[in-house]
Amino acid sequence: MASSHTVLMRLVASAYSIAQKAGTIVRCVIAEGDLGIVQKTSATDLQTKADRLVQMSICSSLARKFPKLTIIGEEDLPPGEVDQELIEDGQWEEILKQPCPSQYSAIKEEDLVVWVDPLDGTKEYTEGLLDNVTVLIGIAYEGKAIAGIINQPYYNYQNNEKEKLREHGNEAQAGPDAALGRTIWGVLGLGAFGFQLKEAPAGKHIITTTRSHSNQLVTDCISAMNPDTVLRVGGAGNKIIQLIEGKASAYVFASPGCKKWDTCAPEVILHAVGGKLTDIHGNALQYNKEVKHMNSAGVLAALRNYEYYASHVPESVKNALIP
């Protein structure tokens, strides 16, 4: 019976199923061919039909099951009726078999804040760089990110889909029935699941950073770290996945622009496997409901050797980024 489980684990189990539905919606929008793109603040700050539908799906599904939650989503959408087809009321039973870490067992629904990025990597989504895209649901308690769910709608896209797309044309194979996608989840004190943890090559400084929001501060900060390789990709969720799968050794974004909904879920996954994510000054990010949404002092993250990267952030960069 659900009532025998803690609020946190029921929420994570529900969010897992909701994130999987979100991944299906993301693929359906592409398959239908009309992305419904609108510009928000600039040519690099976009919103698509998938952003809108996924946010409605996640927020409405969570609010129905957990009415006392605080839910903060990226998109500013008008209130209104949500199509029943967007509602997911299932939960992933495998998560309910896991023990809730004792420090979180007495948490009440009203104590939790959920940060939702319905489509992380929207610009890349519009450009067909589908493996950059993630759906992020982060759960915070007392200002700290404690549980997170990341859905990759197009995981395996590069490996499996190119041949199929060539054979069958884009539409059918990019649809909801394609054998694509995965969901990663984690809870602090329990662990992170749904992927194979791998470390980047020892002694190499492989830095992953922004693809479309770079500036002089970002460039100066990365240069000071003596990188062997710099990877420019979309999506905060995607960059953290690069860290936990050994493709990069640090994630550096020395600029405002990244928001709480970009970092909440990925931070949990990284912290659950022993990594570290902070702002450029080394401060922990705060996720209480009153906090400003912008990570104004940037992001610095690593699975291992965090101190090396933190010690190489130039003072000029720190002085330019006010927490």
Cα 247 to Cα 233: distance, rounded to the nearest angstrom: 12
Average pLDDT (191-214) is 94
Average pLDDT (299-321) is 97
Going by the annotation, the residues of the binding site for Mg(2+) are: 74, 117, 119-120, 262
CA atoms lying within 13 Å on the CB side of residue 221: 34
Residues 6+ apart with CB under 8 A from 204: 228, 229, 249
Residue 228 is predicted with a pLDDT of: 98
Q: How confident is the model at residue 104 (pLDDT cuts 50, 70, 90)?
A: very high
Cα 307 to Cα 60, 270, 274, distances in angstroms: 41, 15, 13
Average pLDDT (200-206) is 96
Going by the annotation, the residues of the binding site are: 74, 117, 119-120, 262
Q: Say yes or no to pLDDT of 73 above 70.
A: yes
Average pLDDT (211-232) is 93
Residue 214 is predicted with a pLDDT of: 77
Q: How confident is the model at residue 130 (pLDDT cuts 50, 70, 90)?
A: very high
**Structural domains of the chain in order of their starting residue, each with its CATH number:** 7-193 (3.30.540.10), 206-320 (3.40.190.80)
Q: Which two tokens stand for residue 74?
A: 């990226």
Q: Which two tokens stand for residue 6?
A: 């803690």
Q: How confident is the model at residue 160 (pLDDT cuts 50, 70, 90)?
A: low
Residues 6+ apart with CB under 8 A from 84: none
Q: Say yes or no to pLDDT of 176 above 50.
A: no
Q: Say yes or no to pLDDT of 164 above 60.
A: no
Catalytic annotation, residues: 51, 122
Q: Of 268, 260, 202, 261, whose CA–CA distance to 241 is shortest?
A: 268
Task: Please state, as a whole number, how many other Cβ atoms lie within 10 Å of the Cβ of residue 244.
Answer: 25
pLDDT tens per residue across span 146-156 = 999 999 999 98
Average pLDDT, the chain: 91
Residue 169 is predicted with a pLDDT of: 46
